[in-house]
Amino acid sequence: MACLTALVLCVASLASADTMPLVVSEGTDLNVAVVPGGPLIVHIAGRLWRLPPEGGDAVAITGPDELVRRPAISPDGQTLAFEAEHNGKVQVFLAAIDGQGRRQVTSGPANYLTPAWSPDGKRLALASDRGGDFSIWELDTDSLALRQLTFEPDTELDPAWAPAGDSMVYVREQRTGSSLVLQQPAGSSQVLAANPGRLRAPAWRPDGSVITYVADLPEGPRLNMVILSQPPVIKPVAPGEAASAAPLSWVGRNEVVYAADGRIRRRAFGAARAVDVPFLAEIQIRMPAAPLTRRLPERAVTGPVRSLGGIAPLPGATVIASALGDLWEIDAAGQPVRPVSESSEVERDPAASRDGRLVAFSSDRDGSTQIWVVELPAGNARQVSREPGEARFPAWKPDKPVLAYLAGDAAGPPGQTLQLVDLETGEVISIATGLAATGAPPAWSHDGSSLGILHNAPGNPQLIQFSVDPPHERRRMTLPAETVGADGAQLQFSPDGRRLLVASAHGIFLLPVAEDGLVGVDWQQLTDRPVHAARWMPDGTGIWFADDGGLGRVGRDEPLTRAALNLRWHAPGTAGRSTIHASRVFDGLTESYLFNQDIVVEDGRIVAVEPWAAEPTGYVIDARGKTVVPGLIDAAVDLSGAAGTHAGRALLAYGVTTIQLVNAADPGLRDDTERWLAQRSGPRVLQLLDGCGPQPETQTVDPVIASGAAQICGRDADAASAAETMRERGLAAWSADWRSVLAGPIHGVDPPHPWENDGRRGLPGSDGFYYQDAIDAIIHSGAAFLPRVGGAMLPLLTENFPDLLDGDQTRLLQGSVQRRMQLQGASHLPSGQLLRRRSALQARLRLASRVHAGGGRVAAASGAAAGAFGLALHADMQALSAAGMSSAASIRAATADAAQALGLQEEIGTIAAGRLADLLIIDGDPLADLRALRRIEAVMLEGHWQPLATILAAPAPALEKFTPTKSEP
């Protein structure tokens, strides 16, 4: 007990050379179940433990190399049911109360959650997604036979049998919130409670008069009860406590044992105060691994155009293609015929009318991305959409000048709207709202009577068709999963309506279409390489497509032909040798400045940091009276959708020289990053890799996008193995679950926000409340914690820190972005949603502050989406500073600590010889006042120097960067 009661790391009792013990007295996602007349069974840090009823030392009854949770005790007190993660899925196991004699009672490619015993002890109620969405199922524990109990189209979770066994209560989740549903013996149901947030973990009082549950309220998760009177009455059980999302246990009729605020508590039912049940549990944590050292590829100065922002075939043998943000007409040999647009903004998503006379496209030339139309041969373009949010992916009605397109919500998610605009009358009609982002144009039926959208549910992709005429009826058809990639697919019906084109990361497929419009599953595969874009030729004789190899054409009965895109780009060069003559240098390695230093740069790298020379060499940049800091790193940026011409410039203008994409790099994003490289108009781009697949090393990263960290999944031994594998491949491993740091070399812990769905509702980390076990484990593992508040909380942060919106950089924020920030601000959000977000923000910042105060690392990762790029990272740092981190620590979070979380500390994030020359000149003293960090005078990216005024100015049209090249004979 000496080590346990000390609550310190007891190095003398190391379990092995690679691990050390960590004693915990608080638990994140704590679950507790009471054995009648016996001990408590408690879930702590992914294991189950036996604890005396009065508290004390916890004894583990499951091993450290698996994730188990949610214990449930059989009515006779002899058998324990629990969840365990197994082969990437959550399964249910049974065991004796001491953990012995365990057996798996569910299996297969589905999740089985929240086991609850029937009063006779012969059955378990479960939540399972074996039928697609989660529903309630019944399992016979002897025969293992399963029977489905609920059939609603919504999500049903957390079942609990009534003491008499004649009814059941469960949680139903819908888009509008959660409800607690009582299913009665005759099959009728009654809603007992409803909440815009989640409801979880119902539990019955032994006499059946009361049901307790956990409600996700704006002020945090609270333990409530519903008295089963007529009408039902809802009351709090434990006001002011942050309840764990697990059922409480009744000890007789008038006492409950439950988990809240990271502790186990015992309370007389109805009493004002609870009594803590203390516990001490010794968990093993892996010793920090030696730092991972990675190198970045050299930044290219010229290269072929590889990425296209969409294609649109014309009658004949040419196609309209978007390259580097401009529209070109390209022939079958890949040669440019002529430019179609010459804007300095970004044009993409081209769509040609069937006669080839009109081309619709999306463009941000008016300050936000909208739909435009140009008449061919190239004439004046006109804007045809004026959505409050972004509008993208136009598609022409086959027989009329009518365009369908997808419009985003001005306030951001939850979904897109399918719109129609009549070019002759200007009338706009909404066909459907709340659609998931598809990243592809809607698909018109051949007769123009309906529009199709892909709903890419995992393992169950569906084509949803909407009739154009009111009431816009829907029809769903399941598509073969083999044809649709994880990131979706482009769909288009052939001009004769007999075939459906499906283009995805799996290749190009044709599916048959019957006369009644139903899509068959007997597909024909035409190509097997990932496809960026694919569209039917107007006469239906073949298909144009674009992939990493350039352009191609293929038909059902025609051989595949390819042509390299004969366009190259040339980036501005960099000066050979330069010296920055600086008064103050914050190198990111200490808490203070180096004074009067020369930073010598050659060939894009720092070659020396030394005291002022009497005569600096090379091109001299005078930074006397100024501060030089490393270029900023935003380790989590969501560039989904059209980044537009402003995104790269905004990032640079705010001093962000490296970003990591956390969303898939679709062709539009590759087009953006290639344009940034060509124009030196955006930061270095990394891609967060998917470390969950069987062979993540085979993932293709575009030549202009370097590999970033690898996001691993799972929380058991598989996660540790995945982290080791990533390290062997030279990649930093990130995890959304803090428990991964116990066994694997994790570089970053990036938990989801409370309103994000991690795919398994109610699993750890989803409510944002971490306690001593998680905090100490993160600190001692050496992993960086990524709070990610700058993007999700930006509207609130700009109201807390209004000076964030000062400065010349804000002119690069698009109008739709500013409108979205306004709609998500305190003055527009409902009071409950506002309180929930403020509570989540405070919880996340408290966690970051505790990690930092304990000697751990915090890495800035804004999670910026919806266009507020650069600003969101400064909001992240400002919030960290307000939470108690020093200015130096807040800057290091976006420089040195972010670099280390990526394994790139020898390349970026600090100012030292050998590092890449990513530097900012600041007019002010950011260590004295962090706000000064936004007073950027100039940015250097790998030795390429740009004053802020140059970055803020509109760049030259990308067409000037194009060089047509001759085809090889």
For helices 772-781 and 831-853, what crossing angle results, to 10°?
Answer: 50
CA 881 distance to own-chain centroid: 25
Q: How many angstroms separate the Cα of 95 from the Cα of each of 62, 79, 512, 661, 940?
A: 10, 6, 51, 44, 61
Rounded Cα distance between 906 and 351, Å, is 46
pLDDT of residue 643: 61
Spell out the SS3 assignment of 433-463: EEECCCCCCCEECCCCCEEEEEEEECCEEEE
Name the nearest CA neighbour of 674 among 702, 650, 635.
702
End-to-end CA distance of the chain: 82
Q: Which pair of tokens denotes residue 767? A: 């409510």
The pTM for the full model equals 0.86
User: Max Cα separation, the chain?
Assistant: 93
Q: pLDDT means per 10 residues in the chain (969 residues)?
A: 34 52 93 94 95 96 88 96 87 95 93 95 95 90 94 91 94 90 86 91 95 89 93 92 93 93 93 94 87 85 83 93 89 89 81 94 84 87 90 94 89 78 95 87 95 86 94 92 88 96 94 92 91 93 89 84 85 81 96 96 95 88 97 89 71 95 71 80 89 52 77 70 85 89 88 50 47 93 91 79 86 63 56 72 88 94 77 93 94 97 96 97 97 96 93 62 43
Phi and psi torsions of 919, nearest 5°: -140, 150
CA 889 distance to own-chain centroid: 25
Rounded Cα distance between 634 and 901, Å, is 11
Rounded Cα distance between 121 and 139, Å, is 11
The count of residues in the chain is 969
pLDDT of residue 241: 93
Which amino acid is residue 149, in one-letter code? L
Per DSSP (E only), the strands in 205-317 are 210-217, 220-227, 233-236, 249-250, 255-260, 263-268, 275-277, 279-286, 302-304, 311-313
Q: What angle do CA 841, 843, 846 make, to 5 degrees?
A: 105
Bridge partners (DSSP) of residue 304 are 568
Q: What angle do CA 100, 102, 107 make, to 5 degrees?
A: 165
CB burial class (10 A; 0-12, 13-18, 19+) of residue 791? buried
List, for residues 609-662, the tens digit of each pLDDT value: 999 988 888 899 999 999 999 999 999 988 765 566 678 888 999 999 999 988
Rounded Cα distance between 103 and 126, Å, is 16
How would you classify the pairing of strands 656-661 and 47-51?
unpaired
Rounded Cα distance between 161 and 489, Å, is 43
pLDDT of residue 6: 33
Residue 93's SS3 state is strand
Phi and psi torsions of 884, nearest 5°: 120, -5
Rounded Cα distance between 404 and 384, Å, is 11
Interacting residues of 784 by C-beta distance below 8 A, sequence separation 6+:
747, 748, 749, 856, 857, 858, 859, 897, 898, 900, 901
pLDDT of residue 542: 93
Rounded Cα distance between 490 and 269, Å, is 57
For helices 644-653 and 667-679, what crossing angle results, to 10°?
Answer: 50
Which amino acid is residue 344, in one-letter code? S
How many C-beta neighbours within 10 Å does residue 786 have? 27
pLDDT of residue 52: 97
Q: Which pair of tokens denotes residue 380? A: 């004046």
Task: Provide Rg for the chain, Cα atoms.
Answer: 29
Per DSSP (E only), the strands in 747-896 are 748-749, 784-785, 857-858
Name the nearest CA neighbour of 469 among 507, 499, 429, 415.
429
Rounded Cα distance between 257 and 656, Å, is 50
pLDDT of residue 891: 98
Element (H, E) at 823: helix 815-823
Return the sign of the alpha-carbon dihedral for residues 751, 757, 762, 766: positive
Q: Are 598 and 610 in contact (CB under 8 A)?
A: yes
Q: Which pair of tokens denotes residue 373? A: 């139309």
Phi and psi torsions of 422, nearest 5°: -90, 115
